[in-house]
Amino acid sequence: MPELPEVETVRRQLEGVIVGEEVAKVEVRAGISIIGNGEEIVGKRVESVGRVAKQLIVRLSDRAGMVVHLKMTGRLVLDEGYAKSPYTRVVFVFKSGKAMYFWDTRKFGWVKIIKNLSEEESRLKKALGPEPWEIEGEELWQKLQRTKRAMKTVLLDQAVLSGVGNIYANDGLFLAGVDPRRPANSLSMDEADKVLKALQKVMERGLELGGASDNTYRDAYGRMGKYQEHFLVYGRTGEKCKRRGCIGKVIRVTVGGRGTFFCPECQK
DNA sequence: AATGGCCTGGTG
DNA sequence: CACCAGGCCATT
């Protein structure tokens, strides 16, 4: 699932290829996958590729742009092989002949065409909380004090902290030794700080490994990441706890309607 | 604060 | 054939 490390991986790859390219054609194959009118960006040049939490921000000339959210199964790829896939929803053809494909089996994701990108970007940043590197432990602790929702649910709340998804929330809580079901306001300042540091660590690891391709995630070249080979608890139901000296086994419960994995022996 | 729905492929 | 995957938003 594309969370912050996956989206950042794609951003870096796209940046190196599409900056400077001029949009020649936008072919919409599934209307539901695009918000706004693709025609509006024809003739515009790509100025930069940015990211806000899990969303990609493509800045175009004349203040225009695109915001892309991959949600669960979305991909933004440069590989020509995607031209004939039945799940390719929008095709961007550049003047040079290069193409970029928005691919999404489940059609949860979208590409949004924006007239004034700066305006849209500040709206987005206002709605989203800080990314894990943009906040201190004490500030996170203060936010946690305001709710008794389960810890993992709060980590997934993009208004509290942005960019964290189910995989890194589970693995981060494991690394911090915190039970995902704990009411957020029951954490001590020290625990909140540990959770933050742990999230930063697992997400950095995810980025180093090119993201997690447990399911359908692929990078801009259509390649898999490798973080799934290093999951700490995510998807490891019944397997041995990875903490040294711990004899526990990973169990799966549902928290906030989502699959939640942890070791009941060492996450308290 | 908790729940349902959006979608569709993959699995049991 | 029923059910699961989960980011995000709307509804209750």
Q: How far apart are CA A18 and CA A12, in angstroms?
A: 11
pLDDT value at position A256? 87
pLDDT digits 0-9 by tens, A6-20:
999 999 999 999 999
SS3 label, residue A223: coil
Instruction: Evaluate if the CB of A106 falls below 7 Å from strand B.
Output: yes
Tens digit of each residue's pLDDT, chain A (268 residues):
799 999 999 999 999 999 999 999 999 999 999 999 999 999 999 999 999 999 999 999 999 999 999 998 999 999 999 999 999 999 999 999 999 999 999 999 999 999 999 999 998 888 899 999 999 999 999 999 999 999 999 999 999 999 999 999 999 999 999 999 999 999 999 999 999 999 999 999 999 999 998 778 999 999 999 999 999 999 898 899 999 999 999 998 889 888 899 999 999 9
What are the DSSP calls for A158-211, one per residue?
TTTS-S--HHHHHHHHHHHT--TTSBGGG--HHHHHHHHHHHHHHHHHHHHTT-
Q: How far apart are CA A45 and CA A200, in angstroms?
A: 34
Q: How far apart are CA A29 and CA A105, in angstroms?
A: 13
List of protein residues whose beta carbon is under 7 A from strand C: A 1, 3, 53-55, 69, 71-72, 106, 108, 127, 156, 158, 165-167, 252, 257-259
Instruction: Evaluate if the CB of A256 falls below 7 Å from strand B.
Output: yes
pLDDT digits 0-9 by tens, A200-241:
999 999 999 999 987 789 999 999 999 999 999 998 988 999
User: How long is the CA A101 to C1' C12 vector, in angstroms?
Assistant: 38
- Which nucleotide is closest to the Cα of A214 by its C1'? C5
Q: Determine the straight-line distance between the first and last CA of chain A, rounded to whole angstroms.
A: 27
Structure tokens at A32: 């539901």
The vertex-A36 CA angle with A97 and A28, nearest 5°, equals: 40
Structure tokens at A70: 């991959």
Beta strand A110-114 with A258-262 is unpaired
User: Catalytic positions of A, please?
Assistant: 2-3, 54, 258
